[in-house]
Amino acid sequence: MKIPFLNNKKNKDTVEISKSLYEALVDVNEPFKSSRAILDPLALGGNSEVKIPYAPMPLQTLYNLSKHSDVLRTIIFNLKKEIFRNGYEIKEKFSKKCSNCGKEFKHDLEICENCGSKNLINPNEIQKKILETYCEKMNDNNQDLLIVHEELNNDLETVDDAYLLAVKDYFFDEDGFFKGHTVVEFIRIDPKFIRIICNNQGLMGRTNDNKKIMTCVEHRNQKYEDLEFCPICKKQLFQVHYVYEGIENEKLYYTNSEIKHTSKYNPSLTYGYSMIYACWMKIITLMNMDNYMKDYYAKQRPPRGMLFINTSNMNSITKAWNWMLDQFKVNPHQIPPLIIESPDGKTNNVQFIDLMKSLDEMQFTQVRDEFSKKIGACYGCMPLFQGDISSSGGLNNEGLQITVTDRTVLDGQKLFNNKFFKFITEQLNITDYEVILKPNQEENTMKKEELMSKKINNARIMQEMGFKITLTEKEEFEYGPKNEAIQKPQMGGFPQLSNMNNEQNNTINETENTNNEPINEIGTFKNQNNTEKNNQYELKSDSMVTTNTEGINNPIHQERKKKIQNLIFKISEEMQKNENISYDINKDDKIEQISDFIQKGLYNKKFDGINKSTSDLIKDYILKSIIEGKDLNSVVKYIMNKGKTDKQQAETIASTERQSLINKTREYIYNQSDPEGETRYKWLNPLDKRTSKICKNITENSKQGLTLNELKELIKQEANNNGMKDPREWTPHPNCRSVMVRTIQ
């Protein structure tokens, strides 16, 4: 037979294999059993079916210890708190999915990039609602997703084994064949009563003689070997992997699709191995130290000392002894005397011996701290998370402790995301969404900015040394060969980088405008005489410039201002060509002011539902799209991908911002070409079924021509009359496509 496998020389798509090998890959058969080694007989006991791990003590002792040891309980509690601190979220697995080939895409598209099909589907919202319902109520005890998994986390930290049970209702046809199931609830099972069913080679659900162990979901207390249907109800049987053994030896058998089992610290083919065993001596010592302290200050504590009295008159001492016993009844903490008879009377009459050492002499605190740190290190929980607020520095550095513990927390979150949460979505048949735990630490934005600032400084120094610099999509600088032809240093020796905000690879420097006019090295359009506008804000070559530099010398500020100047050059040349405007942009001494003005108005706010930094990236791309002549669809796709928006919002942002930028730039050029205000202007739009009532009224009322100020006031008045409060200049409503033009006299 032939199955898709690896490419071979005869057929690049298939490889021929034997039937016996194919069956071995699908289901492990007898001829291939001998190749698997047996399990360690010193680690597992039990019989030919059920395996029981050998352990120094029963699991119940471990649970008791985790409840009564303050050190152990503090570690387990704080790790659990960090793992589940920020809750969970339900995320889409894809943005678009091809229903033809099944390829999933993280970005929005109209045609499958794999097979070319247009049958693309969105994630199923019904699946999301089903998943949300189960996450809010996992079982009939009204436990939500976090509470159930906090229980599982306690099991993992205590005994290193956790079991999640999916309780199901099964459906069969008239012939007893399985047709489907529905999940009733998810609940945690106590690891003390669950046993794994496997043979000596670790094959789940099989006996040592390779027979499948089966059970009926209607009669779970019964097991059968190599049967297909239940002898009692005639329904299809399922292979079992686990058995629940109750206190009274009652048994319930479960399938692999009903129970999810995993271990955290010592995973194996079968059971885990508790970390408490490795810390047993230290935990018990700490508990005994606590008990010693209790006895130290309680009535049952040892005597503080012994009093020796040297005397030759025992009768008088006996009377004193009886008197002292009476005093003990009143005060049990009195020092008891010990009488020693000396016939010669030459030794000291009274001697006191102190039997109690101080805690400092026993190094009580140091030993306790050392044991606590060692136990925490086994679990990956540093002293800072155990309430240790000792001074920082050296091995007690708080930053390093947080980093180490965060790694432990991240590993714990991955275990739940990839094991238990995935099991839940699989049993609910959820294919379009996933549940993940939110990271316990938010991204440190300030630290990221500081790192970027250092990278910029290093790049500036490398550029001054003669190296070519490129900023990649991942915001990393790449240094090319030395002594290549590069641009003159700008902004303190730092080259103008169009990719400062992690845009796409194609920068302004690598493109031409729509009028096929050449673009110079720093991204500005050259005029017809092949000259460019000098930058009056250029810094000295030895200035230190970073992304935190204040004012106009900030690299990001300068880069955006340069893009706006490019926009003005671009639109100016188009207007000079199409409208015969007499305007020499190279003699314009206000170009810096208008670019600053547009930048301040453009980047002062963020879009609804999109953060400020992403909004700025979108505005950068809109600027670039106008300069490079990109169509509106490419801008819409970029906004949807970058801002995680729907298509309607992306179209609104793209069309509105492009129209606002173009009109504001046109107003500036009109003012420069007609400083006296003699020219008249009107409102121009497509006048189709999409044209708004506002723009129709403005077009009708301005067809005879108005001054720019009159037209601007008319736009504002019509917008206010139609419910648009505080509209932007030259943008009376969202999705506006209109533009102001000169009237032809």
Could you please report the per-residue DSSP string of 119-137? -EE---HHHHHHHHHHHH-
Using DSSP's 3-state secondary structure scheme, residue 45 falls into: strand
Residue 386 confidence (pLDDT) above 80: no
| Domain final position from 646, 673, 700 | 673
In this predicted structure, the answer to whether residue 522 has a pLDDT above a threshold of 70 is: no
CA distances from 118 to 77, 110, 113, 240, 699 (A): 51, 6, 10, 44, 40
Domain total of the chain: 5
Of 421, 377, 420, 418, nearest to 400 (Cα)? 377
pLDDT > 50? residue 404: yes
Calpha distance 569→525 (Å, rounded) = 6
Rg (CA), the chain: 40
The verdict on 81 and 220 lying in the same domain is yes
Q: What is the sign of the dihedral through the CA atoms of 726, 727, 728 and 734?
A: positive
For residues 585 and 563, state if they share a domain.
Answer: yes
Whole-number Å distance between alpha carbons of 254 and 236? 14
Predicted local distance difference test score (pLDDT) of residue 510:
34
Q: Are residues 334 and 453 in the same domain?
A: no
Is the pLDDT reported for residue 181 higher than 80?
yes
Order across the sheet with 178-189: list the strands.
178-189, 162-172, 259-262
pLDDT band at 186 (very low <50, low <70, confident <90, very high): very high
Does the pLDDT value for residue 618 go beyond 80? yes
681 in the same domain as 665: no
Mean pLDDT of the chain: 76
Residue 373: CB atoms within 10 Å: 19
Give SS3 for 239: strand
> pLDDT tens digit string along 258-278?
999 999 999 999 999 999 998
Q: Residues 382, 376: contact at Cβ < 8 Å?
A: yes
Residue 429 within any structural domain of the chain = no
727 inside domain: yes
640 close to 666: Cβ distance less than 8 angstroms: no
- Which pLDDT value is given to residue 168? 94
Place of tokens 């012994």: 306
- Assess if residue 461 is contained within a domain: yes
Taking CA atoms, 300 is separated from 31, 94, 290, 303, 360, in Å, by: 69, 68, 15, 9, 22
The answer to whether residues 214 and 225 touch, using CB atoms and an 8 Å cutoff, is yes
Is there a domain that residue 423 lies in? no
Helix (H) or strand (E) holding 591: helix 591-602
* Neighbouring C-beta atoms of residue 400, cutoff 10 Å: 14
- Structural domain including 248 reads 38-86+125-302+367-405
Q: Is residue 441 part of a domain?
A: no
In which band, very low, low, confident or very high, does the pLDDT at 157 lie, cut at 50, 70 and 90?
very high
Instruction: Name which of 19, 21, 25, 32 is nearest 210 in CA terms.
Output: 32
Q: Among 673, 701, 716, where does a domain finish?
A: 673
Q: Which residue has the higher pLDDT, 27 or 504?
A: 27
What pLDDT digit, counting tens, does each position of 9-50 carry? 444 444 555 555 555 555 544 544 557 788 888 888 888 788
Q: Is 563 helix (H, G, I), strand (E, B) or coil?
A: helix
Query: Do 490 and 588 lie in a common domain?
Result: yes
Among the residue ranges 24-33, 535-544, 579-588, the one predicted with the least confidence is 535-544
Instruction: Output the pLDDT for position 570.
Output: 80
Amino acid in position 285: T
Do the bridges between strand 305-311 and strand 337-341 make them parallel or antiparallel, or are there none, so unpaired?
A: parallel
- The verdict on 297 and 308 lying in the same domain is no
Is 633 within the bounds of a domain? yes
Confidence of residue 163 (pLDDT cuts 50, 70, 90): very high
- Give yes or no for a contact between 525 and 513, defined as CB atoms under 8 angstroms apart: yes
Same domain, 485 and 544: yes
223 close to 212: Cβ distance less than 8 angstroms: no
Neighbouring CB atoms inside 10 A of 354's CB total 10
Of 654, 673, 692, the last residue of a domain is 673
Asked whether residue 139 carries a pLDDT value surpassing 90, the answer given is yes
pLDDT band, very low/low/confident/very high, at 195 (cuts 50, 70, 90):
very high
- Give dist(CA 527, CA 586) in Å, integer: 8
- Please determine, for residue 617, whether its predicted confidence score (pLDDT) is greater than 50: yes
CA angle (187, 190, 192) in 5-degree steps? 160
What's the pLDDT score for residue 496? Answer: 38
Top-ranked range on mean pLDDT: pick from 137-141, 306-310, 386-390, 543-547: 137-141
Return the percentage of the chain with pLDDT > 90, whole number.
23
Give the pairing type, strands 477-482 and 44-46.
Answer: unpaired
How does strand 350-354 pair with strand 337-341?
A: unpaired
Band of the pLDDT at 487, cuts 50, 70, 90? very low
**By mean pLDDT, which of 106-115, 541-550, 679-688 is the weakest?**
541-550
Paired residues of 471 in beta bridges: 477
Cβ(386)–Cβ(78) under 8 Å?
yes
265 and 372 share a domain?
yes
Q: Output the pLDDT for position 353.
A: 58
Are the beta carbons of 436 and 191 closer than 8 angstroms? no
Which of the residue ranges 375-389, 412-426, 565-579 would you say has the lowest mean pLDDT? 375-389
- Give Cα 386 distance to the centre of its chain: 25
Identify the weakest region by mean pLDDT among 162-176, 590-604, 618-632.
590-604
pLDDT digits (tens, 9 = 90+) for 212-258: 999 999 999 999 998 999 999 999 999 999 999 888 778 999 999 99
Tell me the C-alpha to C-alpha distance, in Å, between residue 326 and each of 191, 306, 307, 563: 57, 18, 17, 100
516: Cβ contacts below 8 Å, ≥ 6 apart: none
262 and 384 share one domain: yes
In angstroms, the Cα distances linking 371 to 358, 363, 699 are 20, 12, 83
107 falls within a domain: no
Dist. CA 93–CA 146, nearest whole Å = 21
Separation CA 384–CA 397 (nearest Å) = 9
DSSP letters along 396-433, please?
A: G-HHHHHHHHHHHHHHHHHHIIIIIHHHHHHHTT--SE
Q: Which residue in 231, 221, 134, 125 sits closest to 186, CA to CA?
A: 134
DSSP 629: T
Q: What is the mean pLDDT of residues 62-76?
A: 90
Same domain, 329 and 381: no
Q: Is residue 523 part of a domain?
A: yes
* Distance between CA atoms of residues 194 and 245, nearest Å: 6
Instruction: Quickly tell me which residue has 């906004």 as its tokens.
Output: 639
Q: What is the DSSP letter of 356?
A: -
Query: Are 221 and 321 contained in the same domain?
Result: no
pLDDT of residue 306: 60
- Tell me the HSE value of 407 on the side-chain side, using a 13 A CA sphere: 9
Which secondary-structure segment (H or E) carries 158?
Answer: helix 145-159
List the one residue out of 258, 362, 356, 282 whose CA is nearest residue 69.
Answer: 282
Beta-bridge mates of residue 89: 436
620 and 703 part of one domain: no
- pLDDT class of 373 with cuts at 50, 70, 90: confident
DSSP string for residues in 287-322: HHHHHHHHHHHSTTSPPSEEEEEEES-HHHHHHHHH
DSSP 204: B
Helix (H, G, I), strand (E, B) or coil at 65: helix
Q: Tell which residue, 673, 705, 485, 689, has the closest CA to residue 579.
A: 673
| Residue 544: predicted pLDDT | 40
Residue range 637-681, pLDDT digits in tens: 888 888 888 888 888 888 888 888 888 888 888 888 777 778 888
Per residue in 86-135, pLDDT (tens digit) is 899 999 999 999 988 888 988 888 888 888 888 899 999 999 999 999 99
Strand residues in 137-237 grouped as ranges (E): 162-172, 178-189, 194-197, 213-216, 219-225
Which has the closest alpha carbon to 421: 87, 77, 81? 87
Residues 6+ positions from 200 with CB-CB distance below 8 Å: 38, 39, 41, 48, 208
pLDDT value at 436 more than 80:
yes
145-159 vs 59-68: helix crossing angle, rounded to 10: 110
In this predicted model, what pLDDT tens digit does every residue of 322-367 receive, in sequence order?
777 777 777 766 666 655 555 555 555 555 556 556 666 667 777 8
CB 420 within 8 A of CB 152: yes
